[in-house]
Structure 1
Amino acid sequence: MPPETLGSRLRGNTYEVKRNTLTTYFDRTASKTWEQLTSDAPVSGIRATVRAGRNRMRDTLLSWLPEDMTGLRLLDAGCGTGALAVEAARRGAAVVAIDVAGSLVEIARERAPAGLAIDWRVGDMLDPALGRFDHVVAMDSLIHYRAFDIVAVVQALAERTEASLLFTFAPSTKPLEVMHAIGTLFPRSNRAPAIEPVRERLLRTLIASAMPGATLARSARISGGFYTSHALEVLPG
Structure 2
Amino acid sequence: MSTMTSLATLDGDGVFDCYVAEPEATPKAAIIVIQEIFGVNAGIRRKCDRWAEAGYLALAPDLFWRLEPQVQLDPDIPNEFARALELMNQLDQDTAIADIEAVIRAARGGKSGLPKTAKVGCVGYCLGGRLAFMTACRTDIDASVGYYGVGIDGLIADAKAISRPVLLHVPTADHFVGKDAQAAMHAGLDDHPKVTLYDYDGLDHGFATEFGKRRDDAGATLADRRTAEFFAEQLA
Task: Using structure 1 for the length normalisation, give the TM-score.
Answer: 0.37
Higher helix share: 1
Indicate the structure whose relative CO is greater, using CA pairs within 8 Å and at least 6 residues apart. Answer: 1
Q: TM-score, normalised by structure 2?
A: 0.38
